[in-house]
Structure 1
Amino acid sequence: MSPAGAAPGGGQPGARGSLGAVSTPAPVPDGPIPGPAAVPATVPATVVGRPARSLAGQVLAEVRGDLRAATAWGCLLALCGLPAGLLWVWLAPRARFEVVEGGAVPLGRPSPELLVAVDSVLVLVLAGLGLLAGGGAWAMRRRRGVAVLAATGLGTGVAGLLAWQLGELLAPGPTAAELSDVGARVTSGLHLSSPPALAVGPFAALAVYVVAALFSAHDDLGRR
């Protein structure tokens, strides 16, 4: 006979229940087992600063290029005042006089608007120079911007001053000695009676540039 209280099969009391309490292992998922999340490495500060420094260098190089181009362009426009002055001397109407006792009498029939015509010729010459300057500045597609625009205005302004002074230097009026020589013939000189007319050149140049910029379809004025 088996001892009293013994479990069937010779096992200890409660052994069957403890075995039944063991949990079944979870099924292994298909595919690779995910590992621990990778911790992003810290990016060195030198690597982060490189793009910013590179961009700043490009901007600085672009600004320097604009300034060099604008300076050369402004000087070229200023020198254009020399042929503009020569053109004024050639095209401007002038009257001839004969010196007599008590003054000078005109030869022929000079126009009463002679002084106005002298100013008008210079205005037209400077206006033509301004139109060409504005078109030339806009044609510099790679350097379009504030620097070239300012150089265009300053260059045409200096060209107007140079043309004015050169014209009056090459075509001066008769001197007191010439007017006192009875029988001599003298020619009237060039004199700009309205100096504000010199603003026509810069105005025309800037107008051409600004109008072209208004009709541009690109925010960067096409300087790609």
Structure 2
Amino acid sequence: MTAPLSPHDQQPPNPPAPDTDGGGAQERPPLGGELRDGAIAAAALAVCGLVLGLLWVWLAPRIPLISDGSAVYLKNSEGEQAIGADGWFALMGLGFGVLTAAAVFWWRRAGGVAVVVGLAVGAVLGSVIAWRLGVALGPTQNVVAHAKAVGPNKVFYAPLELRAKGALLAWPVAAMATFLALTSGFGPRDPEPTPHWDGWSAGSGETPEQR
């Protein structure tokens, strides 16, 4: 015969101590801090739009024009400089999207809705700022006045334009895709549930009264 277990003997063992180090995962800030981080991310990406705009002015191919004194013509009617300007903007937008998303993930790995929204809004603002800055810093928009200033049969360049406005989405789309991939692969994981202890031996399946 086995002596019945006392109430003290039936108490479960002490639960395991919580993992205080977080397993290396970054804790999510409170709502106020998360909103602040989202605003910081949006502002930082908007500032990066200035860099993209300067690079676009520097790298985008120019469209040569020529005037005969009465009209303005393309110097090379088969040139692809206009398409090249859109392509350069889109390619650089994709690169900026990958780099800025990686930087935001490294800074705030825990993520959060506010950070993701800030990343998207900042990427859109950065693209618009880059576009408008590039147009402003490129050749003048007044083609007629520019032609008169350089004189007949002189080559000058057309204004820098973004004809395919869909290129503005290259940065935000690349940023969202990169951030999602990094979060899925390297983001913090939810802790595994602690196994429940029922107070009895799993092998015997007997209560004290049955022993």
Question: Do the aligned partners of residues 165 and 136 (structure 1) sit closer, same or farther apart at CA in structure 2, a change above 3 Å counting?
Answer: same
| Cα distance in structure 2, aligned partners of 1:96 and 1:117 | 13
* 1:176 paired residue number: 144
**1:88-103 mapped onto 2 (5 Å cutoff):** 88-103=56-71
Kept after mapping to 2: 8 A contact 1:174/1:186 = no
Question: Do the aligned partners of residues 94 and 76 (structure 1) sit closer, same or farther apart at CA in structure 2, a change above 3 Å counting?
Answer: same
TM-aligned CA deviation for residue 195 of structure 1: 0.8
| Cα distance in structure 2, aligned partners of 1:220 and 1:144 | 13
TM-aligned CA deviation for residue 126 of structure 1: 1.1
* 1:25 paired residue number: none
* 2:42 paired residue number: 74
Kept after mapping to 2: 8 A contact 1:137/1:149 = no
**1:194-209 mapped onto 2 (5 Å cutoff):** 194-209=164-179
What residue ranges of structure 2 are gaps of 5+ in the alignment?
A: 1-28, 192-211
Kept after mapping to 1: 8 A contact 2:56/2:88 = yes
Corresponding residue SS for 2:85: helix
Sequence identity, in percent?
Answer: 29
Larger radius of gyration: 1
**1:1-224 mapped onto 2 (5 Å cutoff):** 62-104=30-72, 112-141=79-108, 143-171=110-138, 172-180=140-148, 181-216=151-186, 218-220=188-190
Question: Do the aligned partners of residues 183 and 111 (structure 1) sit closer, same or farther apart at CA in structure 2, a change above 3 Å counting?
Answer: closer
What residue ranges of structure 1 are gaps of 5+ in the alignment?
A: 1-60
Question: Please, what TM-score do these two structures have when normalized by structure 2?
Answer: 0.68
Question: Please, what TM-score do these two structures have when normalized by structure 1?
Answer: 0.64
Query: What is the aligned length?
Result: 162
TM-aligned CA deviation for residue 95 of structure 1: 2.9
TM-aligned CA deviation for residue 87 of structure 1: 0.3
CA RMSD of aligned residues (A): 2.6
Question: Do the aligned partners of residues 199 and 142 (structure 1) sit closer, same or farther apart at CA in structure 2, a change above 3 Å counting?
Answer: closer
TM-aligned CA deviation for residue 163 of structure 1: 0.3
| Cα distance in structure 2, aligned partners of 1:217 and 1:150 | 17
Corresponding residue SS for 1:150: helix
| Cα distance in structure 1, aligned partners of 2:78 and 2:57 | 17
TM-aligned CA deviation for residue 125 of structure 1: 1.4
Deviations 1:195-219 (A, max 9, x none): 1211110010010111112224643
TM-aligned CA deviation for residue 175 of structure 1: 2.6
| Cα distance in structure 1, aligned partners of 2:77 and 2:94 | 26
TM-aligned CA deviation for residue 97 of structure 1: 3.0
* 2:5 paired residue number: none
Higher RCO (CA < 8 A, seq sep 6+): 2
Kept after mapping to 2: 8 A contact 1:81/1:160 = yes
Corresponding residue SS for 1:186: strand
